[in-house]
Each structure stands twice: as structure tokens, then as C-alpha cells.
Amino acid sequence: MSLEGWVPDVGDYLTLAEVVEFAFDYRGNTTIVKRDGTEIVGYIFNRNTYGSESFIEYFDESGEGPFTLSYSELANVKFTGKDTAAGNSWRAWLERKEREKAERAGAVSVPDPHPHRG
């Protein structure tokens, strides 16, 4: 199941750290919502919780970066970009191959009912 389109409701049942984990695992752009209300569209490629202050790292929509933003400046992450790991092109390839196979099988197994016509 893809998280594409999800706007998390950060609160008692879902912490910001949990949302960041989902965002880190997400292979699409997100909208990063800062505590001051500003929003940045970008790809979150890392989060670091090892040091004294946890932070995320991202490239913005134009590919500039990497930028760092501490958890204390972050309010939410919205999953607004296309999920590139949803496997759509692969499914299209599979469907085409299945169709071709079925067509080939049909050509072999369904004989011409009027072989001597014409």
C-alpha cells in the first residue's frame, strides 16, 4: 500500500518521529511543513537521531541541497509527491507480456474454422 496523498495527523497516536520514519522510507517528494507555517517540497533522504539534536536531510524540488532541518523546526510531513516505488511501469510491462502470451496461445490453439475458405 502506498502512502501517496497521506496527510498525517501528528498528535498523541502518531508522533512526529514516526511520521519522519515513514517519510524517510517514502520514495517520492513530500511537503515539509515547518513550525512557522512555511512549506518546502522536497525529497527526504535521511534522518539522523544519533546526535544531541535529531534532524532530517533533504533535496528540494529543484534538486538543490542537501539541506538540514532539525526536528524542533519541523511540524509535519505531507506525502504529496508521486510514489516512485509503486511499481506502475513494471505492472504495465507484465500486463503487456501476459497479453502477448495469450495472443500467441490463441493463435496456436484456436484453429481457423474455415481452413479451405477463399
Partner 1 sequence: MSVPLSQMWTVATYVLRQKVARRKRYPFVLMLEPLFRCNLACAGCGKIQYPAQILKKNLSVEKCLAAVEECGAPIVSIPGGEPLMYPEIDQLVAELVKRKKYVYLCTNAILLKEKLDLFTPSKYLSFSVHMDGLREEHDEAVCRDGVYDQAVPAIREAVKRGFRVTTNSTLFDGASPLRMREFFDEMMNLGVEGMMVSPGYSYSKAPDQEHFLLQSRTHELFAKMLANPKKRWRFNQSPLFLRFLMGKHDFECTPWGNPTYNMFGWQRPCYLLQEGYARTFKELMETTPWENYGKKSGNDKCRDCMVHCGYEATAVDYTFSSLKGFVETVGVTLTGKL
> Which spans of this chain sit near partner 1 (rule: CB under 8 A)?
24, 27-29, 43, 45-48, 50, 57, 59-63, 66, 81-82, 84-85, 87, 89-91, 93, 97
- Alpha carbon 18 to chain centroid, angstroms: 17
Answer for the pair 67, 57: CB distance below 8 angstroms, yes or no.
yes
Rg (CA), the chain: 24
CB closer to partner 1 out of 35 and 92: 92
Q: How far is the CB of 45 from partner 1 (least distance, A)?
A: 5
- Give the Cα-Cα-Cα angle 38, 41, 44 (nearest 5 degrees): 110
Q: Which is nearer to partner 1, 9 or 100 (CB)?
A: 100
Residues 68, 46: Cα–Cα separation, whole Å: 9
Cell numbers describing residue 93 = 510491462
Confirm if 92 and 46 have CB atoms less than 8 A apart.
no
Residue 1: CB minimum distance to partner 1, A: 13
* Least distance in angstroms from the C-beta of 60 to partner 1: 8
In this complex, which beta carbon is closest to partner 1, that of residue 35 or of residue 101? 101
State in angstroms the smallest separation of the CB of 30 from partner 1. Answer: 10
